[in-house]
Amino acid sequence: MRYLRVTSLPEALEAKARLGRSGLVHAGGTDLVPMIRGLDQGSTILDISAVADLAYLEKAGGKVRIGPLVTHARLAGSRAADVLADAAASVGSPQIRAMGTVGGNVCNASPCADVVPALVACGAVLEIRSAAGERKVAIEDFLKGPYLTDLRDDEILAGIEMRDPVGARTAFLKLGRRNACSISRMNFAVVGWLDGTLRDVRVAAGSVAPTARRFPEVEGILEGQVPGREVFDEAGRAMSRCMIAAAGRRWSTPYKEPVAAALTRRVLEGAFDG
Amino acid sequence: MASVSFMLNGEPVAIEVRAEQTLLDVLRNVIGMTGTKAGCKVGECGACTVIVDGEAVLSCLYLAGKVEGRSVETIEGLSRDGLHPLQAAFLEEDAVACGFCTPGMIMSAKALLDANPRPSDEEIKVAISGNLCRCTGYVPIVNAIRKVR
Amino acid sequence: MGGIWNRVDGIGKVTGGALFADDVKVPGMLFGAVLMGRRPHARISRLGIDRAKAMDGVRAVLTPQDVRETFGVVVPHQPVITATARYWGDGIALVAAETEEIARAALGIIEVEWEDLPAVFDPEQAIEGPPIHEGGNVVVHHRVRKGDVEEGMRAADVVVERRFTTQRVEHAYIEPESVVAVPRDDGGMEVVGCIQNLFSTRRSLAGILGLDLSRVTVRQSAIGGSFGGKDEVMTQIAARAAVLARAAGRPVKMTYTREESMAQSYKRHPYVMDYRVGARADGTLIAIEARIVADAGAYASMTPFVTWRSAVQATGPYVCPNVRTDVWGVHTNNCYTGAMRGFGSPQVNFSIESIIDELAEKIGMDPIDLRLRICFEDGAETATGQVLGRVSLKEVIARAADLSGWREKRAAGRALGFACSYRGVSLGAEGVDATGAIVMVQPDGSVIVATGVTEMGQGSHTAMAIIAAEVLGIDVGRVRFAEVRTDRVPDSGPTVASRATCMFGQSVKKAAEQVKAVLGGGDYDEAVRAAYAEGRPLVGCGWHRSPETSWHDGRGDAYFTYVYGANVAEVDVDAETGKVDVARFTSVHDVGRAINPAGVRSQIYGGVAMGIGYGLLEEYRSDEGVPAQDNFDEYLLPTSMDMPDVRIDIVENEDEAGPFGAKSVGEPATEIAAPAIANAIHRATGRRVTDLPADLETIVLGRKLVREGPRGSRR
Residue C715 to residue A35, Cβ atoms within 8 A:
yes
Q: How far apart are CA C615 and CA C611, in angstroms?
A: 6
Please compute the mean of the pLDDT values over residues A217-242 and round it to a whole number. 97
Percent of chain C clearing pLDDT 70 (strictly above)? 98
| Strand-strand pairing, C322-331 and C285-297 | parallel
Contact C16 B90 (CB under 8 A): no
The pLDDT score that the predictor gives to residue B14 is 97
Q: In what order do the strands lie in the sheet with A23-26?
A: A2-5, A44-47, A23-26
Q: Is C534 exposed, middle or buried (0-12, 13-18, 19+ CB in 10 A)?
A: exposed
Subunit contact A262:C577, Cβ cutoff 8 A:
yes
Distances, alpha carbon C305 to alpha carbons A42, C270, C343, in Å = 52, 15, 8
Question: Is A141 exposed, middle or buried, given 0-12, 13-18 or 19+ CB atoms closer than 10 A?
Answer: exposed
Q: How far is B76 from chain C (nearest CA, A)?
A: 6
Residue A42: per-residue pLDDT = 93
Percent of chain C's residues with pLDDT above 90:
81
A243 to A108, A147, A226, A264: CA distances (angstroms): 22, 18, 25, 12
Q: Burial letters for B77-111: b for 16+ Cβ neighbours within 10 Å, e otherwise?
A: bbbeeeebebbbbbbbbbbbbbbbbbbbbbbbbbb
In which band, very low, low, confident or very high, does the pLDDT at C569 lie, cut at 50, 70 and 90?
very high
ipTM of the complex: 0.98
Three-state SS at C691:
strand
User: pLDDT of C675-691, one tens digit each?
Assistant: 999 999 999 999 999 99
Q: Per-residue pLDDT tens for B110-149?
A: 999 999 999 999 999 999 999 999 999 999 999 999 999 8
CA distance C642 to chain A (A): 6
Residues of A in contact with B2 (CB under 8 A): 3, 5
C121 CB-near residues (< 8 Å, 6+ apart): C40, C332, C333, C334, C622, C624, C625
Question: Which pLDDT band holds residue C713 (cuts at 50, 70, 90)?
Answer: very low
Phi, psi (degrees; rounded to nearest 5) at C543 = -125, 135
* Cα–Cα dist C319/C376, whole Å: 6
Distance CA A182, CA A207 (A): 13
Nearest one of C439, C343, C373, C415 to C573, comparing CA atoms: C415
Cβ atoms of residues A127 and A159 within 8 Å: yes
Interface contacts B/C by beta carbons within 8 Å: 174
Contact call for residues C189 and C298 (beta carbons, < 8 A): no
Neighbours of chain A (3+ CB pairs under 8 A): B, C
pLDDT score of A199 more than 50: yes
Q: What is the pLDDT of residues A36-78, one digit of tens each?
A: 988 998 999 999 999 999 999 999 999 999 999 999 999 999 9
- Mean per-residue pLDDT, C230-234: 96
Is residue C621's pLDDT more than 60? yes
Check residue C709 and give its pLDDT.
Answer: 59
Which chain C residue has its CA at the smallest distance from A176's CA? C579
Is the pLDDT at C160 greater than 60? The verdict is yes
Residues 6+ apart with CB under 8 A from C201: C191, C195, C218, C234, C235, C238
Average pLDDT value for residue range C417-434: 88
* CB C589, CB C565: distance < 8 Å: yes
The per-residue pLDDT for C714 is 40
Report the percentage of chain B scoring pLDDT > 90. 95
| SS3 state at B76 | helix
Question: Residue C715: its pLDDT value, please?
Answer: 35
Q: Is the pTM of this model over 0.90?
A: yes
Q: Could you count the other beta carbons within 10 Å of the beta carbon of residue B121?
A: 12
- C-alpha pair distances (Å), A84 with each of A119, A120, C84: 7, 10, 54
Beta bridge partners of C179: C193, C254
Q: Do A94 and B20 touch (CB under 8 A)?
A: no
- Say which DSSP state C64 is in: T
Rounded to an integer, the average pLDDT of A260-266 is 98
Question: In chain C, whose CA is at the least distance from the CA of B80?
Answer: C15
Q: Which residues lie below 8 Å from residue A180, measured CB to CB, with a gap of 6+?
A: A93, B126, B129, B130, C639, C640, C641, C642
Give me the residue from C10, C12, C643 closest to B138, CB to CB. C643
What whole-number distance in Å separates Cα of residue C53 and Cα of residue C694?
Answer: 49
Considering only CB atoms, which chain C residues are within 8 Å of A183?
A: 633, 711-713
Within 10 Å of residue C163's Cβ, how many Cβ atoms? 12
Q: What is the mean pLDDT of residues C495-524?
A: 88
